[in-house]
Amino acid sequence: MTMLIFNHKNTRYNFNFKGKPTVILDKIHFITTDNDWHNRLLTAILTIIITGLDDKGQELKSSSVQIVLSEFISARHSLPVLHVDRQIGFNDLLDLKTYHQCEKWIVSIEIHNLALKNNEQLDIDIEIKENGS
């Protein structure tokens, strides 16, 4: 498991793979002193984009999934820790009959609709598995 750390300067990560990627989201932890963290996360969205490229670096197919963080917040949440436990693979996102033509895959992970302050961060426990081509 890897931890991605989003802050006011970094709201996007990109990863390159030779084989088809699968993204496994485990947990999201919002590190803040703001007592109104519930409301701030209500509109926050995590976007995962998987793009397949040919041997010349040309995009063959790209698709994305948006994870709305409010799905994982209940009235009983006392701490800003969200248990997502979701797996996203290229089969889920890409209807690409010729995926074998993809020589490279790019996974981009972005946070939207959450203005992080200087002393705040959003930590995401994630694993990206690279399947054989």
pLDDT for res 49: 93
DSSP at 90: H
Tell me the per-residue pLDDT of 30-56, one tens digit each, with 9 for 90 and over: 999 999 999 999 999 999 998 989 889
CATH of the domain at 18: 2.60.120.340
Name beta bridge partners: 100.
none
| pLDDT greater at residue 97 or residue 80 | 80
Model confidence at 92: pLDDT above 60: no
Parent domain of 38: 2-130
Tell me how many domains the chain contains: 1
Please give the average per-residue pLDDT across 15-27, as a whole number.
92
The residue count of the chain comes to: 133
| pLDDT greater at residue 54 or residue 3 | 3
5, 98 Cβ separation under 8 angstroms: no
128, 89 Cβ separation under 8 angstroms: no
Model confidence at 103: pLDDT above 50: yes
Comparing CA positions, the residue from 90, 82, 74 lying closest to residue 21 is 90
